[in-house]
Chain A
Amino acid sequence: MTTKLARFAQKRWISSTTSTSNMYDPRVFRDPVTNVQELRKPLDSDDERNFLFLKAMKSDATPVFYRDHVIDKLIRVCTKDGEKETSRKNVLSALEIIKRRQYKAWAKASEEEKKSIELDPFLVAKKGIKNCHPLMKLQGVTRGGTTYQVPFPIEEPEAEFRAMKMMRDICRVRSKHGETHFKDILATELLAASQNEGSTIQAKQELHKTCEANRAYAHYRA
């Protein structure tokens, strides 16, 4: 029946661009479950996934124990020219460098200082990216032929992306200048960002300063 309907809907006077351009028919396919805990629970009897197909699992969604949403997004943001394996190697090496540095500092510290040192590089990276989230963004609005940079509120996923993008650009510029490798600079930036220091935090503060200066244009928000 679905094939008949799809063929029927492909006539000229009914638009079906979205569904025909996707090999996964949205009428019969649903997103797969990638959480291992959710997989163990049984489905409700009236859940539609009992009767429909599920899409194939993505290549980078295998539920291994080190799977982390933020790190995966950082890997995707740092990918250049489709070389995801290189980006993955860089990011995971940066996490390893963070682990080694924190462990070295932890070994040298006294007993009461040991409690305040975080040894998990995933938590350090997540805290660093969280600290780099901007609160506002600047968007170009044209009024009367003049384009103003108007501050707009920003949503959480875009804030996360912009934080990662700022960090990536800073690390790329520095690695291009030949200081050290990308992974070393990324590790340094993540560690500094988790303590509210570093170039990415400065870039975020610069952005907030510009938004504050352009506060007069806030009424141009559509």
Chain B
Amino acid sequence: MLRIVLARSSRAMSSASPASASDSDTSVRKIGKALETYLKHSQQHVAMMEKHRAEFETGRRHLAKMMSLDIHELDQEAIDRAILYLFPSGLTDPNARPVMRPPDEILPKFQRFTFDEEGKPEGSRFFTLSPKIYGLLSDIGVKTHSVMKFYDEHVGSRSVNRSDLEPANLSGSQWVTADKLKKKLSEKFSKELYGQVIIAFEHLASLPGSAIEQKFLMEFREPMTASTGSKLFGPAIPEVHVCAVTNRRYAEVTTRCKDTRATVKVTDAGKGKFDIDGLQLHDFRHLQAREILLAPMIVSQSLGRFDVTATTSCISNTLPEAPNKAPLMRSGGMSALPRAVRHGTALCVAALQPEAIEPLRLSGLLTLDPRKNERSKVNQPGARAKWIWKRR
């Protein structure tokens, strides 16, 4: 590669030398400047890599002598173990520990470009700072246009498959992270540029007809099972304990809904009793409230099996500015208390009856409700309400 580049450079120089005009000299000097800089950097990089490889081999020989090992037995794994033995480190960050690896793995890679006959770099992305990521964005743009064209030509036609006119199916996968994309492209870029790439990918994947680019999209997706954390939004399923006195299993959890916090304790081998701040189920006179409280039992098919004990409190009364106000009896609306107790009950039922976790999760009973009162805005009567418009 280097020899070919040198040959091209010499040919360009030799072809330009017969002309003695100043314009030709200026043009040759400009072209040669970029090529000259690249060649200089390339030579420096090659020399540095040679020096570091020689140092690594010397170090390997010294290490073999220190550890009384044969030089041929000392592979990378043995080197790692020897370094761990010679330089024990209590640092918790793996990247901060001493390491001895070939320079090709540690030192930054050198970007290699090709030049044409006139000595100009091939491709206009040479002059950007990040040619690979801009190339990827360009590829996404080209494929987006081709997908649009494909769909416009074949919509309503019978000559193509029905499934080819569908959007791409991305279920069970998610986009690669910024670090993995940097490693894949061997290039650094900012978070904003990564966000742009993801937005472009999402737009391409959402188009009808993007199923024909499924393979291209899946190159930058990874399965979600490997990296998905908890599937529950909000508090986790609590632990199961056994009461020493009554020898019954129970679970306890604290959760909230709007302005109501509820601490719920569900006991197994019960009769379906409710004790919510001293109130039983029939004390809730609204049919909807009783429905809400019984929802976890209905979904898990365990009516009459668990006893529920709950205590509720108002979150606003526990805030730092609360002593300056009159304490509220309860806020958060009429159904906030039953819904907070329902969430806690569902989590405890999931703990005591693990086979009911999936139905409870799919019905949304294990999800903390993140909704809350929207803040009132200045210059309008409420969060979104406006005054009646008058012409004048």
* Interface residues of A, Cβ cutoff 8 Å to B: 1, 4-5, 8-9, 14, 23-24, 29, 32-34, 36, 39-40, 42-43, 45-51, 53-57, 59-60, 62-64, 84-85, 88, 92
Contacts and interface: CB of A to CB of B under 8 A. Distances in A.
Contacts of A29: 233
A209 to B, nearest CB: 35
Given A24-B370, A59-B292, A62-B291, A46 B171 contact: yes
Contacts of A60: 288, 291
B351 interface: no
Contact of B359 (A39, A50, A51, A62): A39
Contacts of A14: 199
B224 A54 contact: no
A42 B363 CA distance: 13
B295 interface: yes
Interface string B151-180: 000000000000000000101101101000
B286 A54 contact: no
Contacts of A51: 171-172, 174, 224-225, 228, 231
Interface stretch (B23-31, B139-147, B190-198): B190-198
Interface string B358-392: 11011111011111100000000000000000000
A49 B364 contact: no
Given A23-B372, A64-B298, A54 B195 contact: no
Interface in B313-362: 335, 338-339, 343, 358-359, 361-362
9 contacts: A23-B371, A32-B362, A33-B363, A47-B171, A56-B367, A62-B292, A62-B295, A64-B298, A88-B287
Interface of B: 169, 171-172, 174-175, 177, 191-192, 195, 198-199, 224-225, 228, 231-233, 286-288, 291-292, 294-295, 298-299, 335, 338-339, 343, 358-359, 361-365, 367-372
B172 A63 contact: no
A63 B300 CA distance: 11
Contacts of B368: 56
A1 B195 CA distance: 10
B288 A56 contact: no
Q: 6 tightest CB-CB pairs across the interface, nearest first?
A: A32-B364, A56-B369, A62-B291, A57-B364, A8-B195, A53-B233
Contacts of A56: 339, 343, 364-365, 367-369
B362 A5 contact: no
Contacts of A42: 358
Given A8-B192, A33-B363, A33-B364, 8 more contacts: A4-B191, A5-B198, A8-B191, A50-B231, A53-B232, A59-B288, A59-B292, A64-B294
Contact of B365 (A1, A23, A57): A57
